[in-house]
Amino acid sequence: MTTSDDEAAQWWATSITRIAPGEIDHRGVPVEELIGRTGFVEMIWFMVVGGTPTPSQTRLLEAALVAATDHGPQAPSIAIARMTVTCGVGLNGAVASGVNALGDVHGGAGEQCVVMLDDAIARVADGESWDDAAVAIVDEHRRRSAYVPGFGHRFHPRDPRRDPLLGLVSEAVASGDVPGRHLEAALAFERALDRPGRRPVPMNIDGATAVIYGELGLPAPLARGLFLLSRSVGILAHAWEERQSGVRNKGPLPRTVLPAYRPGPEAG
Amino acid sequence: MTTSDDEAAQWWATSITRIAPGEIDHRGVPVEELIGRTGFVEMIWFMVVGGTPTPSQTRLLEAALVAATDHGPQAPSIAIARMTVTCGVGLNGAVASGVNALGDVHGGAGEQCVVMLDDAIARVADGESWDDAAVAIVDEHRRRSAYVPGFGHRFHPRDPRRDPLLGLVSEAVASGDVPGRHLEAALAFERALDRPGRRPVPMNIDGATAVIYGELGLPAPLARGLFLLSRSVGILAHAWEERQSGVRNKGPLPRTVLPAYRPGPEAG
Amino acid sequence: MTTSDDEAAQWWATSITRIAPGEIDHRGVPVEELIGRTGFVEMIWFMVVGGTPTPSQTRLLEAALVAATDHGPQAPSIAIARMTVTCGVGLNGAVASGVNALGDVHGGAGEQCVVMLDDAIARVADGESWDDAAVAIVDEHRRRSAYVPGFGHRFHPRDPRRDPLLGLVSEAVASGDVPGRHLEAALAFERALDRPGRRPVPMNIDGATAVIYGELGLPAPLARGLFLLSRSVGILAHAWEERQSGVRNKGPLPRTVLPAYRPGPEAG
Amino acid sequence: MTTSDDEAAQWWATSITRIAPGEIDHRGVPVEELIGRTGFVEMIWFMVVGGTPTPSQTRLLEAALVAATDHGPQAPSIAIARMTVTCGVGLNGAVASGVNALGDVHGGAGEQCVVMLDDAIARVADGESWDDAAVAIVDEHRRRSAYVPGFGHRFHPRDPRRDPLLGLVSEAVASGDVPGRHLEAALAFERALDRPGRRPVPMNIDGATAVIYGELGLPAPLARGLFLLSRSVGILAHAWEERQSGVRNKGPLPRTVLPAYRPGPEAG
């Protein structure tokens, strides 16, 4: 290999996978030692994060992945995948467009919530109380936006995924498997958001999984990254269901209803 | 609810997920009964296919998902995700464009191979021998294309993922957990492709996972669908690694090498 | 530059654009000679097809591009772009997912129609009459599918874009600017589809633009390619309008209507 | 139509397009009055912005669209489209993934530059001099990032698209067709960036087109939006060129060069 081949090879250097004829290693482990021995959830951790999770870590990650697969066709990502698959593209195209919609607003709350939890933990490490830290951070968020990421749900007064997820985290804290500080932070935010005379604002799926990702020590952007893998399951399930329906060019409304026309300032 | 609301509701009807305030059911099961009790691989089956897999089915699906996560940055899907994430979009955008590339040529061989295996099984059910069926089908493919989907690899003389995957299928056949006909069909194709004086053309990852998907009784398009979930793991891992590098606007070649200009018929 | 640099450079060789420090040439022409002198429609032709179109060719291509920009939010591509932009991604992500949906069923009819017109022209060159060729091809299509690409519209009894587009083609034929055979072929298809006692099936936008692309001598896949550029205008317009609305996570139905749940075979 | 139909219809209300059987209006104008009479660049303005541009505005927008179509395969968007089209997806999928990469870093500089120019204009309106405003804004940018959006180019000491674009703006200012303040602001930024002993940092394509979009009175996000339409031309041209090559599964490097493996902290 010449110097300049080497430069091209280095341009694409990676720690994740090495191939040679007849050989594939992932992070230094031959793939044939992984197949049949490593679970898919451990494999996700191994590939994305690196290293091998403990059984307790695997159990928490697995619960987070199971919990967030779907919320039905009102979610833009799901409707988009269902519509796309009726337009004559493969399942890959439909899943791609569904995943593409998981942006800052639709898929980003978990990532933003981990940042917020990390912030509270840092303040507490500096001597603040959990409740003071939570109130201060909520106030900052409220100044910029009506939303506190990870808390409250437009549709569910109490998100049914909150309790089982937090239950698993509590067990892992009790057995000393995870530190428990992201859980404490999140509960402090719930208290800070619970104001007399107002509807309570409990953790939603993004908040509860942010607690898990935080307890697992993962960087905030992976809260979105791992959510993508979870929601891809629901996106695929819906794309496949829709494809079997045989509908062509599915629009958002039944064919008997036309979008309204609202004359704009430019119309004559 | 009025008749026409109902029409709109029916337009988006689904068997996958039902929501009501405080409630989320997937295929009739409340999500809180799934979290912490159902493994992610079973959840994938439950959501995408419906029903609950046996432990042996889960084990095979898990192996297929673990085996196909990545083949490094020479794969277009991986390079695309790494390049996209350097352009100022979220991980969702990078994963989406990676998955989008898993089309008929890059991600479709498994699906095509299941069709081919099903075809052989149907011929054998009609009285042909495995070898006659395999030779006939290979001949038909060869007339249309240089490729027989699921067999042979440009880079690996023998794909290292073949043996451990087929080993797991053989065990499941031996214990009566799966019928074994897709395995028999695939081995017949290997014999049909092994011609004196030529390099052998053993099953590749697409062929070995097609055997699994076939033994699991899944329709051919889900061979691609489930591969999307597996490869998304590698795509995410690479996008995340690249994002941590801090490179901006990563092109395909190091910055010292410019694409060649090849004057076309239109040039002056 | 060494030999192997050269290999990497050749791997990405192109006839479209050459860059050097301070220089950008497109198909051999410095970009500064194009800016302010070449119209955007001519530039599209120059970049995508190569060569310079005649004024009459430019006029026809321009009409095709103007005609197909939008059909409103019932089109999946438009609804998808509007939903995506409310999820916290840039206009690039919204336009991408809209364009991604322009697959074989939603954006491919023009391409398929050019193939069909070319087929009729080839049969006529072999001695068949226009009407016999059209009837034979329609029969073949009808055996495989309920759709004849480019003809009929679910919504419009007569597509209002047909007449002005064909009028422009007729003028160009009359002045000798284009051969007129794709127009003749398409009119023969309309006659073949006009059966007593049935609703007529006139050309739709895909058929009328296929006539133009065919008369311009373009290969069939560019009928879809150029349509992408046209529809991108409508996709962008809708994504921008929706973004200004401030809606977050727009689903397909108003929030008061939930998708129906239809218990599947798997439900308990 | 009932009230709830109306609710669904209103959910998708738009000022852009109205359809009825046999009728399509764009912003109140029947499509048949646009075909053959309106140029494609005017149509882009009409659809995306609303209203009809003056000939001078059309000329500037046309120049911006012509100038930015392509910078060759080192641009991630172009390489991505070329790689995608070799994976067995339609041109729509290839163009989609190319456009998807035009994020904040790859396609967003024009948008950010318009914001910066608007900021300078506001300061001058408040009594600052052009040069003071430019120096102050550059200092702020430099504190956050090494990049000042719209100025300087990694590859071109002087971007060859700058002079012809600014020349057209100057002409339009001289003839009173546009106000000229965005041009003045941009020239002040060039002076602020020109420091003794350092390489000058002239406007690049994003800066020069930002001047145009600013002079046309367009909101900053449309600098990216309209750039998407321009670059889609190059993306389509490259995808089509690559598709004609017949390469399958094109990776970023020639097949003789493998990406380097760089053992990570996790490797054994």
Chain D residues near residue B255 by CB distance under 8 angstroms: 74, 154
Q: What is the mean pLDDT of chain B?
A: 94
Q: Which of B1, B7, B12 to mutate to test the interface with C (most CBs of C within 10 A)?
A: B12
Q: Which of B34, B90, B253 sits opposite A8 (nearest CB)?
A: B253
Say if residues A26 and B70 touch (Cβ distance below 8 Å).
yes
CA pair distance B186, B168, nearest whole angstrom: 15
Residues of B in contact with C28 (CB under 8 A): 263, 266-268
Compute the CA torsion angle C45, C46, C51, C57 (nearest 10 deg): 30
Interface check for D74 against chain B (CB to CB < 8 A): the answer is yes
Q: How far is CA D199 from the centre of its chain?
A: 26
Q: Where are the beta strands (DSSP E) in chain A?
A: 17-20, 23-26, 29-30
C167 touches chain D (CB under 8 A): yes
DSSP C211: H
**CATH architecture group of domain C70-251:** Orthogonal Bundle (1.10)
Say yes or no for a CB contact (<8 Å) between A13 and D262.
yes
CA-to-CA dists, residue D149 to A32, A247, D109, angstroms: 48, 46, 5
Residue C17: its H or E element: strand C17-20
Angle at B34 between CA B28 and CA B39, to 5 degrees: 125
Chains in contact with C, where contact requires at least 3 CB pairs less than 8 Å apart:
A, B, D
Cβ distance B139 to B193 under 8 Å?
no
CA distances in angstroms from B244 to A14, A115, B96, listed in the order given = 12, 17, 19
**Dist CA D123 CA C197 (whole Å):** 72
Give the tokens for residue D199. Answer: 């390489």
Subunits with 3+ Cβ pairs within 8 Å of B are: A, C, D
Query: Where does the pLDDT of residue D265 fall: very low under 50, low under 70, confident under 90, or very high at 90 and above?
Result: low
**Cβ of B91 and A67 within 8 Å?**
no
State the pLDDT confidence band at B1, using cuts at 50, 70 and 90: very low
- Hey, are the CB atoms on C50 and B12 less than 8 Å from each other? no
Q: Do C35 and D168 touch (CB under 8 A)?
A: yes
In this prediction, residue C267 carries a pLDDT of 40
Q: What is the pLDDT of residues A5-25, one digit of tens each?
A: 789 999 999 999 999 999 999
Residue D87 and residue B74: Cβ atoms within 8 Å?
Answer: no
Instruction: List per-residue pLDDT tens for chain C, 268 residues long.
Output: 556 678 999 999 999 999 999 999 999 999 999 999 999 999 999 999 999 999 999 999 999 999 999 999 999 999 999 999 999 999 999 999 999 999 999 888 999 999 999 999 999 999 999 999 999 999 999 888 878 999 999 899 999 999 999 999 999 999 999 999 999 999 999 999 998 888 889 999 999 999 999 999 999 999 999 999 999 999 999 999 999 999 999 999 999 999 999 998 654 3
3-state helix, strand, coil in chain A (%, to 5): 55, 5, 40
Confidence of residue B4 (pLDDT cuts 50, 70, 90): low
Residue B107: predicted pLDDT: 87
Specify which residues B114 forms β-bridges with: none
Q: Please give the model's pTM, rounded to 2 decimal places.
A: 0.97
CB atoms within 10 A of CB A187: 16
State the pairing for strand pair B23-26/B17-20: antiparallel
SS (H, E, C) chain B: CCHHHHHHHHHCCECCEEEECCEEEECCEEHHHHCCCCCHHHHHHHHHCCCCCCHHHHHHHHHHHHHCCCCCCCCHHHHHHHHHHCCCCCHHHHHHHHHHCCCCCCCCHHHHHHHHHHHHHHHHHCCCCHHHHHHHHHHHHHHHCCCCCCECCCCCCCCCCHHHHHHHHHHHHHCCCCCCHHHHHHHHHHHHHCCCCCCCCCECHHHHHHHHHHHCCCCCHHHHHHHHHHHHHHHHHHHHHHHHHCCCCCCCCCCCCCCCECCCCCCC
Question: Distance (Å, rounded) from C-alpha D257 to C-alpha A12?
Answer: 10
Give residue C260's identity as a one-letter amino acid code.
A
Task: Indicate the DSSP class of residue C217.
Answer: T
Encoding tokens for residue C11? 């791997």
Q: Does A261 touch chain B (CB under 8 A)?
A: no
Task: Tell which D residues from 13 to 72 touch C, by Cβ distance under 8 Å.
Answer: 14-19, 21-24, 26, 30-32, 34-36, 38-41, 43-44, 47-48, 59, 62-63, 65-67, 69-72
ipTM of this complex: 0.96
List the single residue in B74, B83, B100 with the smallest CB-CB distance to D76. Answer: B83
Instruction: Find the CB nearest B69 among A43, A103, A256.
Output: A43
Token pair recorded at residue C221: 């896949």
D61-80 pLDDT, tens digit per residue, is: 999 999 999 999 999 999 99
Using a CB-CB cut-off of 8 Å, the residues of chain A touching B32 are 160-161, 163-164
Alpha-carbon distance values, A88 to A246, C83, D92 (Å): 11, 20, 11
Instruction: Find the CB nearest B38 among A66, A243, A256.
Output: A66
Whether A245 shows a pLDDT value over 90: the answer reads yes
